[in-house]
Protein backbone atom coordinates (compact mmCIF):
# COMPACT_ATOMS: atom_id res chain seq x y z
CA UNK A 1 0.00 0.00 0.00
CA UNK A 2 1.54 3.28 -1.09
CA UNK A 3 0.87 6.11 1.35
CA UNK A 4 3.02 8.77 -0.28
CA UNK A 5 1.20 11.97 -1.05
CA UNK A 6 2.40 14.98 -2.90
CA UNK A 7 0.45 18.13 -2.11
CA UNK A 8 1.13 21.07 -4.36
CA UNK A 9 1.20 24.41 -2.61
CA UNK A 10 -0.96 25.93 -5.33
CA UNK A 11 -3.49 23.07 -5.33
CA UNK A 12 -7.05 24.30 -5.55
CA UNK A 13 -9.58 23.42 -2.89
CA UNK A 14 -11.09 20.53 -4.88
CA UNK A 15 -7.68 18.88 -5.31
CA UNK A 16 -6.93 19.39 -1.63
CA UNK A 17 -10.26 17.76 -0.66
CA UNK A 18 -9.65 14.80 -2.99
CA UNK A 19 -6.19 14.29 -1.49
CA UNK A 20 -7.72 14.29 1.99
CA UNK A 21 -10.36 11.75 0.97
CA UNK A 22 -7.66 9.45 -0.44
CA UNK A 23 -5.60 9.77 2.74
CA UNK A 24 -8.60 9.00 4.94
CA UNK A 25 -9.43 5.97 2.80
CA UNK A 26 -5.81 4.77 2.98
CA UNK A 27 -5.81 5.22 6.76
CA UNK A 28 -9.03 3.20 7.10
CA UNK A 29 -7.63 0.42 4.91
CA UNK A 30 -4.33 0.44 6.82
CA UNK A 31 -6.15 0.18 10.18
CA UNK A 32 -8.13 -2.85 8.99
CA UNK A 33 -5.05 -4.41 7.39
CA UNK A 34 -3.08 -4.07 10.64
CA UNK A 35 -5.97 -5.42 12.69
CA UNK A 36 -6.44 -8.44 10.41
CA UNK A 37 -2.69 -9.07 10.23
CA UNK A 38 -2.24 -9.04 14.02
CA UNK A 39 -5.34 -11.18 14.54
CA UNK A 40 -4.00 -13.78 12.10
CA UNK A 41 -0.62 -13.68 13.79
CA UNK A 42 -2.18 -14.28 17.19
CA UNK A 43 -4.26 -17.18 15.87
CA UNK A 44 -1.54 -18.98 13.95
CA UNK A 45 1.83 -17.91 15.34
CA UNK A 46 1.26 -16.90 18.97
CA UNK A 47 3.15 -19.92 20.37
CA UNK A 48 6.20 -19.45 18.17
CA UNK A 49 9.23 -17.95 19.95
CA UNK A 50 9.73 -15.50 17.08
CA UNK A 51 6.21 -14.13 17.57
CA UNK A 52 6.87 -13.42 21.23
CA UNK A 53 10.18 -11.80 20.36
CA UNK A 54 8.53 -9.67 17.68
CA UNK A 55 5.74 -8.70 20.08
CA UNK A 56 8.34 -7.58 22.62
CA UNK A 57 10.11 -5.52 19.96
CA UNK A 58 6.89 -3.68 19.13
CA UNK A 59 5.79 -3.55 22.77
CA UNK A 60 4.61 0.04 22.49
CA UNK A 61 2.21 -1.03 19.76
CA UNK A 62 1.44 -4.60 20.88
CA UNK A 63 -1.43 -3.52 23.13
CA UNK A 64 -2.85 -1.28 20.43
CA UNK A 65 -2.51 -4.03 17.84
CA UNK A 66 -4.22 -6.52 20.15
CA UNK A 67 -7.09 -4.08 20.69
CA UNK A 68 -7.32 -3.56 16.92
CA UNK A 69 -7.35 -7.34 16.36
CA UNK A 70 -10.34 -7.63 18.70
CA UNK A 71 -12.21 -5.18 16.47
CA UNK A 72 -11.29 -7.21 13.38
CA UNK A 73 -12.57 -10.35 15.09
CA UNK A 74 -15.78 -8.60 16.15
CA UNK A 75 -16.30 -7.41 12.57
CA UNK A 76 -15.19 -10.00 10.00
CA UNK A 77 -14.70 -8.54 6.52
CA UNK A 78 -18.28 -9.25 5.41
CA UNK A 79 -19.70 -7.31 8.39
CA UNK A 80 -17.69 -4.10 7.95
CA UNK A 81 -19.24 -0.89 6.67
CA UNK A 82 -16.86 0.70 4.19
CA UNK A 83 -18.09 4.23 4.92
CA UNK A 84 -17.71 3.85 8.71
CA UNK A 85 -14.35 4.51 10.36
CA UNK A 86 -12.36 1.87 12.18
CA UNK A 87 -12.81 3.91 15.38
CA UNK A 88 -16.60 3.73 15.11
CA UNK A 89 -16.36 -0.03 14.54
CA UNK A 90 -14.16 -0.21 17.66
CA UNK A 91 -16.80 1.54 19.77
CA UNK A 92 -19.59 -0.71 18.46
CA UNK A 93 -17.48 -3.84 18.99
CA UNK A 94 -18.19 -3.41 22.73
CA UNK A 95 -21.77 -4.59 22.08
CA UNK A 96 -22.86 -8.23 21.98
CA UNK A 97 -22.55 -9.76 18.47
CA UNK A 98 -26.31 -9.85 17.81
CA UNK A 99 -26.57 -6.08 18.37
CA UNK A 100 -23.57 -4.96 16.30
CA UNK A 101 -25.02 -5.16 12.79
CA UNK A 102 -28.03 -2.94 13.44
CA UNK A 103 -25.83 -0.41 15.25
CA UNK A 104 -23.21 -0.37 12.46
CA UNK A 105 -26.00 0.10 9.89
CA UNK A 106 -27.31 3.07 11.88
CA UNK A 107 -23.77 4.47 12.14
CA UNK A 108 -23.42 4.13 8.37
CA UNK A 109 -26.76 5.79 7.60
CA UNK A 110 -26.26 8.65 10.06
CA UNK A 111 -22.51 9.08 9.38
CA UNK A 112 -21.40 8.79 13.01
CA UNK A 113 -18.00 9.81 14.23
CA UNK A 114 -16.23 8.10 17.14
CA UNK A 115 -17.76 10.39 19.79
CA UNK A 116 -21.31 9.86 18.54
CA UNK A 117 -20.77 6.09 18.34
CA UNK A 118 -19.44 6.03 21.89
CA UNK A 119 -22.49 7.95 23.13
CA UNK A 120 -24.89 5.58 21.34
CA UNK A 121 -23.10 2.49 22.67
CA UNK A 122 -23.12 3.82 26.25
CA UNK A 123 -26.81 4.75 25.99
CA UNK A 124 -27.65 1.35 24.50
CA UNK A 125 -25.72 -0.53 27.18
CA UNK A 126 -27.33 1.62 29.87
CA UNK A 127 -30.82 0.89 28.49
CA UNK A 128 -30.02 -2.84 28.34
CA UNK A 129 -28.58 -2.81 31.86
CA UNK A 130 -25.23 -4.06 30.58
CA UNK A 131 -23.11 -0.99 31.21
CA UNK A 132 -21.11 -2.81 33.88
CA UNK A 133 -21.14 -6.45 35.01
CA UNK A 134 -23.59 -6.98 37.89
CA UNK A 135 -21.79 -9.92 39.48
CA UNK A 136 -19.17 -7.73 41.18
CA UNK A 137 -20.23 -5.65 44.23
CA UNK A 138 -17.85 -2.84 43.24
CA UNK A 139 -19.39 -2.65 39.78
CA UNK A 140 -22.90 -2.76 41.27
CA UNK A 141 -21.99 0.25 43.41
CA UNK A 142 -20.59 2.01 40.35
CA UNK A 143 -23.79 1.26 38.41
CA UNK A 144 -25.88 2.74 41.23
CA UNK A 145 -23.76 5.89 41.23
CA UNK A 146 -23.94 6.15 37.43
CA UNK A 147 -27.72 5.74 37.46
CA UNK A 148 -28.12 8.34 40.21
CA UNK A 149 -25.82 10.67 38.28
CA UNK A 150 -27.84 10.22 35.08
CA UNK A 151 -31.11 10.96 36.89
CA UNK A 152 -29.78 14.03 38.72
CA UNK A 153 -30.27 17.54 37.38
CA UNK A 154 -27.18 19.36 36.13
CA UNK A 155 -26.98 21.59 39.24
CA UNK A 156 -26.97 18.54 41.52
CA UNK A 157 -24.16 17.06 39.42
CA UNK A 158 -22.13 20.26 39.79
CA UNK A 159 -22.74 20.29 43.55
CA UNK A 160 -21.69 16.65 43.83
CA UNK A 161 -18.51 17.29 41.82
CA UNK A 162 -17.64 20.22 44.10
CA UNK A 163 -18.13 18.01 47.17
CA UNK A 164 -16.09 15.17 45.67
CA UNK A 165 -13.30 17.55 44.66
CA UNK A 166 -13.23 19.22 48.07
CA UNK A 167 -13.12 15.80 49.74
CA UNK A 168 -10.29 14.82 47.35
CA UNK A 169 -12.33 11.75 46.36
CA UNK A 170 -12.45 10.68 50.01
CA UNK A 171 -15.59 10.31 52.16
CA UNK A 172 -18.11 13.10 51.62
CA UNK A 173 -19.66 14.35 54.85
CA UNK A 174 -23.42 14.37 54.27
CA UNK A 175 -24.36 16.55 57.24
CA UNK A 176 -22.83 20.02 56.98
CA UNK A 177 -23.23 20.47 60.77
CA UNK A 178 -21.17 17.37 61.57
Across 133-148, average pLDDT: 73
Across 123-130, average pLDDT: 81
Across 52-64, average pLDDT: 76
- Measured at the CA of 64, the angle between CA 58 and CA 69, to 5 degrees, comes to 105
- The alpha-carbon radius of gyration of the chain (Å, integer) is 22
Please state, in angstroms and rounded to a whole number, the distance separating the CA atoms of residues 101 and 31: 20
| pLDDT tier, 176 (very low <50, low <70, confident <90, very high otherwise) | low
pLDDT of 55 reads 77
Residues 6+ apart with CB under 8 A from 80: 32, 89, 104
What is the residue-averaged pLDDT of the chain?
86
Around Cβ 50, how many Cβ atoms within 10 Å?
8
On whether the CB atoms of residues 74 and 93 are closer than 8 A, the answer is: yes
Please state, in angstroms and rounded to a whole number, the distance separating the CA atoms of residues 75 and 69: 10
| pLDDT tier, 115 (very low <50, low <70, confident <90, very high otherwise) | very high
Query: Above 80 in pLDDT, residue 109?
Result: yes
pLDDT of 178 reads 46
On whether the CB atoms of residues 113 and 88 are closer than 8 A, the answer is: yes
Please state, in angstroms and rounded to a whole number, the distance separating the CA atoms of residues 89 and 103: 10
Amino acid sequence: MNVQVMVREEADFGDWVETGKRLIDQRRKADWALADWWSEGQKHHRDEPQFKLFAEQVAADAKRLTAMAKVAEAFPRHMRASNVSFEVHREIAALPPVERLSMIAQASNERWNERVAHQHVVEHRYEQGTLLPDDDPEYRSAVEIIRAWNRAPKEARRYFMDLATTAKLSVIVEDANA
